[in-house]
């Protein structure tokens, strides 16, 4: 495959990064060419790993000049195919990786900031913050393998968004290599800076289509002193949202998580995941898993008092508060095992929608009705980050459903579900991005003027079209 | 002056907005042509006030076609001259105002969002939120006259940034008319939405140079149940920053304000503002005014406990906790009267710098040394939003200093002060923006690649250069 690129170009890359920064061996390349779930298989003659921003800049200059596509890849844990290259002899594409740029450059405890290179594992940034007695709140299932640069490029969400925001909210400054090889030294630990356009915003969530991020300064937070976790039963999603409103009012900004789990989702877990049991009796229709992180020592008492009042008011039917770390883990396991349980139960059509909280109940009603009309024996699995309005609404089909049937249904049903979300002011991709997977939906559902403006920006920043070609746009 | 524009163009404007939407009377125009402190005086043949986004779009189409500059103006309370037009017969410029677009379109209490038109007074948005039992935390001295569109265009800061962020952090979606008259319908109340570039970020803080904002969806918060305010004495800025670090750790995210006041600033207030007195004895060198807003009923007790511990540890020398609303107002009056006291004491060279918190002490030391070298009898007045790293570092000259001397010194000393801030990773305009006032400093201090990228974006979004000409860029 290396013949997508001339040997003279490879020699020039080699002159910049040395052999330690070049991967051309097919076996070593293979894991970087496949999306981890197997949805996408790509092709590239080489992965280039510069040791610093200057090397990255030289590589991009060469690519700009030779019109070679450049696909930035972090830990390759994305869910939309955004990091998979599709090189051809006509339009060669290389992978570029920040894996050798993995230093924590600075931890400024007084300023509550960390400056880290793009190739740092997310878990390494978390660990550095903890060593400085601070919290870097971004947290994802893939945190042991995903990289900070990828998190920023995809504006990653995760389990702490409710309290601390998306990755965008955590980034204070960026160092970026532009498509033409120029470097923006935009690292900054300032809470306030109104000096022209806020350029970093362009690169956050751009999925590598506008430049190559090499380092970032991010916000840190105090570490909570105590944490309390509860699983409670509520009558329906509307009641869950009312409970959320009260929790925000009563608990201030200390609510870390507010997750919704439907009956079907819970049953899948109880059936398919060994060692799980329902801590609540009476098989409630809906559960909320909520967690409080407090600056004081008494998160348990605060959450207990809140839930007692909610039970008295009839907002909550039943509930259990974790009495130990083990119990907390058991509660979270119920939530985190849903995807695995779905897989064991059959095959599923998955969604990553968001709607305003006020529209959640209406979304569920309409989307479920549409899905049931198209697939009479569908099993609707509802769960998600309710506090963010982000639902993973899955449609499970019986085990044994063949792939062709699944794919045919996936397309038509997903369009329906996305259309319902859009009609309610929602999004068809709350946290996973567009990549290759959702380009058609972006084309179909985005405001045409907005989409055109995105193309204008792409053309202005990357006129040669070398940055992550074929992503985002059709 | 109306002869900057042909009567046929005025007729076309009239056909779009009607006479109710056109101001050509010089007396009525005058207040819109002068910066409120008298620093800038402008010129424009007309102010156009469209009734809705469609009319605004038609006006911009005409201007684009005829190459007429368009200067968006909100409440005209800005501090950098960004809203003042400078029309000439060669390049006519009109004012455009959203004053007739002043409806609260929607308050979604469950989703904690408000959608309001750009011409709403900030105080009207606050009031609408309060009616829905929610808090819109943006708060400024000018809140009774500034408009939401202007707040967004300048990424306004204000007194609640520490806890709730700048305006940028509060905006969830925007409706914008582009320079060519197309409309982006980007209103959205979603906490999570990863579908392409986040276009709204371009217009927030762009000072009207990229488009005309007509409406926004903004985040709301729970209203705090109790508030506690204290004035404490600390030994120096470093001690103040250590206290801030502990306060964040101990009080979680409930700290609303953390303001630094130096001895000189306090003395100016005590000398020149009638009815003020120092609640602390012994003339401490430095004061911190801090405020806590709690979701619980006991903010006073929480702050009291924190301060007692800080006194025991020697971090705080003395302190007083407001025991009533009247006492709270008296404490805040000490802080809010500093500018007025400065004015009474003489003339001053003002700054709006920010640095990382870890560099505050170093900034003060270096900036004071430089200022004293240039102006031996200068009075250095230090105060500001310490929690944000944002200091209003003023250099007061004796009353009677003539204007020419002041202006000569202003230029050279300000450059020195801004250079020190920049060398420490800081900003020369933390919250006031660039406008006309700081274009030279932007040109001098911005990363050249970043500045060039700003120009690229300007050219891509406004190729005819009609949006707020002559602002931001030289």
pLDDT digits (tens, 9 = 90+) for A164-222: 999 999 999 999 999 999 999 999 999 999 999 999 999 999 999 999 999 999 999 99
Global pTM value = 0.96
Of B110, B222, B390, the CB nearest to A192: B390
Determine, for residues A389 and B183 on separate chains, whether the beta-carbon distance falls below 8 Å.
no
Counting every residue written for chain B, the total comes to 474
DSSP string, A4-64: GS-HHHHHHHHHHH-GGGEE--HHHHHHHHB-TTSS-B-B-S-EE--SSHHHHHHHHHHHH
For residue A246, CA distances in Å to A232, A317, A361, B112, B447 come to 14, 15, 17, 12, 46
pLDDT tier for residue A411 given thresholds of 50, 70 and 90: confident
Q: Are A118 and A98 in contact (CB under 8 A)?
A: yes
User: Which residue does chain A place closest to B173, by CA atoms?
Assistant: A425
Give the closest-approach CA distance of B41 to chain A in angstroms. Answer: 23
Q: Which residues in chain B (163-202) have CB-CB distances under 8 A to chain A?
A: 166, 168-169, 178, 182-186, 188-199, 201-202
Residue-wise pLDDT for B323-366, tens only, equals 999 999 999 999 989 988 988 888 888 899 999 999 999 999 99
Residue-wise pLDDT for B11-65, tens only, equals 999 999 999 999 999 999 999 999 877 778 999 999 999 999 999 999 999 999 9
Six-digit token string for A240 = 């869950």
Determine, for residues B194 and A205 on separate chains, whether the beta-carbon distance falls below 8 Å.
yes
In whole angstroms, what is the distance from residue B280 CA to residue B260 CA? 15
Per CB-CB distance under 8 Å, the chain A contacts of B425 are: 187-190
Nearest C-alpha neighbor of A147 from the set A106, A86, A57, A208? A208
Q: Are B332 and B338 in contact (CB under 8 A)?
A: no
Determine, for residues B196 and A454 on separate chains, whether the beta-carbon distance falls below 8 Å.
yes
**Cα-Cα end-to-end distance for chain A:** 25
Q: Which residues in chain B (354-383) have CB-CB distances under 8 A to chain A?
A: 354-359
Q: Are A118 and A148 in contact (CB under 8 A)?
A: yes
Residue-wise pLDDT for A113-168, tens only, equals 999 999 999 999 999 999 999 999 999 889 999 999 999 999 999 889 999 999 99
In whole angstroms, what is the distance from residue A462 CA to residue A69 CA? 11
CB atoms within 10 A of CB A373: 11
In whole angstroms, what is the distance from residue A10 CA to residue A214 CA? 22
φ/ψ of residue A345, rounded to 5: -80, -20
pLDDT of residue B430: 96
Least trusted range by pLDDT, from A409-413, B157-161, B404-408, B438-442: B404-408
pLDDT of residue B2: 53
Residue-wise pLDDT for B232-265, tens only, equals 999 999 999 999 999 998 988 889 999 999 999 9
pLDDT of residue B381: 95
Residue found under tokens 């330690």: A20
In whole angstroms, what is the distance from residue A40 CA to residue A289 CA? 34
pLDDT of residue A397: 86
Maximum C-alpha span of chain B: 76
In whole angstroms, what is the distance from residue A402 CA to residue A472 CA? 29
Cα A285 from chain centre: 28
Q: Which residues in chain B (267-306) have CB-CB distances under 8 A to chain A?
A: 294-296
Residue found under tokens 């918060």: B221
Residue A355, sorted as left (phi over 0), alpha (psi -120 to 50) or beta, turns out to be beta
Give the closest-approach CA distance of A417 to chain B in angstroms. Answer: 16
Per CB-CB distance under 8 Å, the chain A contacts of B166 are: 191-192
In whole angstroms, what is the distance from residue A311 CA to residue A234 CA? 10
CA dihedral (B307, B313, B319, B324) in degrees, to 10, reads 10
Q: Once rounded to an integer, what is the mean pLDDT over residues B116-124?
A: 98
Determine, for residues B252 and A432 on separate chains, whether the beta-carbon distance falls below 8 Å.
no
The SS3 assignment for A206 reads: coil
For residue B75, CA distances in Å to A216, A314, A431, B33, B208 come to 36, 47, 37, 12, 13
Per CB-CB distance under 8 Å, the chain B contacts of A447 are: 184-186
Residue A1 in this model has a pLDDT that exceeds 70: no
CB atoms within 10 A of CB B422: 18
Q: Are B374 and B415 in contact (CB under 8 A)?
A: no
Residue A445 in this model has a pLDDT that exceeds 90: yes
pLDDT tier for residue B70 given thresholds of 50, 70 and 90: very high
Six-digit token string for A80 = 């939309």
A-B CB pairs within 8 A amount to: 269
Six-digit token string for A109 = 């405890």
Residue A47 in this model has a pLDDT that exceeds 90: yes
* ipTM of the complex in this document: 0.96
Residue A296 in this model has a pLDDT that exceeds 90: no
Determine, for residues B184 and A426 on separate chains, whether the beta-carbon distance falls below 8 Å.
no
């Amino acid at each position: 495959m290396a013949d997508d690129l001339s040997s003279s170009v490879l020699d020039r890359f080699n002159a910049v990064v040395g052999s330690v920064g070049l991967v051309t061996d097919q076996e070593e390349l293979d894991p970087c060419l496949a999306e981890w779930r197997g949805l996408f298989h790509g092709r590239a003659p080489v992965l280039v790993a510069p040791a610093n921003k200057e090397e990255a800049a030289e590589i991009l200059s060469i690519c700009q000049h030779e019109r070679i596509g450049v696909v930035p890849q972090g830990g390759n844990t994305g869910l939309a195919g955004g990091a998979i290259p599709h090189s051809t002899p006509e339009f060669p594409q290389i992978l570029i990786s920040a894996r050798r740029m993995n230093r924590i450059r600075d931890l400024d405890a007084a300023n509550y900031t960390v400056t880290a290179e793009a190739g740092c594992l997310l878990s390494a940034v978390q660990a550095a913050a903890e060593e400085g007695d601070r919290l870097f709140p971004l947290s994802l299932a893939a945190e042991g393998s995903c990289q900070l640069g990828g998190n920023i490029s995809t504006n990653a969400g995760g389990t702490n968004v409710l309290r601390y925001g998306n990755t965008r909210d955590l980034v204070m400054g960026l160092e970026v290599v532009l498509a033409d090889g120029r470097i923006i030294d935009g690292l900054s630990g300032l809470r306030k800076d109104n000096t022209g356009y806020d350029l970093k915003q362009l690169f956050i969530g751009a999925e590598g289509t506008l430049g190559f991020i090499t380092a970032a300064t991010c916000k840190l937070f105090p570490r909570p002193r105590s944490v309390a976790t509860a699983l409670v039963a509520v009558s329906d999603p509307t009641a869950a949202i009312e409970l959320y409103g009260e929790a925000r009012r009563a608990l201030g900004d200390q609510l870390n998580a507010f997750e919704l789990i439907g009956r079907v989702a819970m049953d899948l877990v109880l059936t398919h995941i060994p060692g799980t049991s329902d801590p609540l009796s009476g098989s409630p229709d809906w559960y909320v898993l909520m967690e409080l992180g407090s600056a004081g020592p008494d998160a348990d008492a605060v959450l207990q008092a809140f839930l007692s009042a909610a039970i008295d008011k009839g907002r909550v039917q039943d509930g259990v508060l974790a009495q130990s770390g083990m119990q907390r883990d058991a509660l979270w396991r119920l939530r985190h095992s849903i995807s695995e349980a779905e897989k064991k139960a059959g095959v599923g059509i998955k969604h990553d929608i968001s709607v305003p909280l006020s529209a959640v109940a209406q979304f569920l009603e309409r989307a479920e009705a549409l899905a049931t009309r198209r697939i009479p024996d569908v099993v609707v699995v509802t769960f998600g980050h309710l506090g963010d309005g982000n639902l993973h609404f899955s449609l499970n089909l019986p085990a044994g459903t063949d792939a062709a049937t699944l794919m045919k249904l996936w397309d038509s049903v997903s369009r329906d579900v996305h259309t319902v979300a859009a009609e309610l002011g929602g999004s068809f991709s709350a946290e996973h991005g567009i990549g290759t997977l959702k380009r058609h939906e972006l084309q179909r559902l985005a405001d045409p003027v907005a989409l055109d403006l995105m193309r204008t920006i792409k053309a202005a920043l990357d006129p040669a079209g070398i940055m992550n070609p074929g992503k985002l746009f059709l």
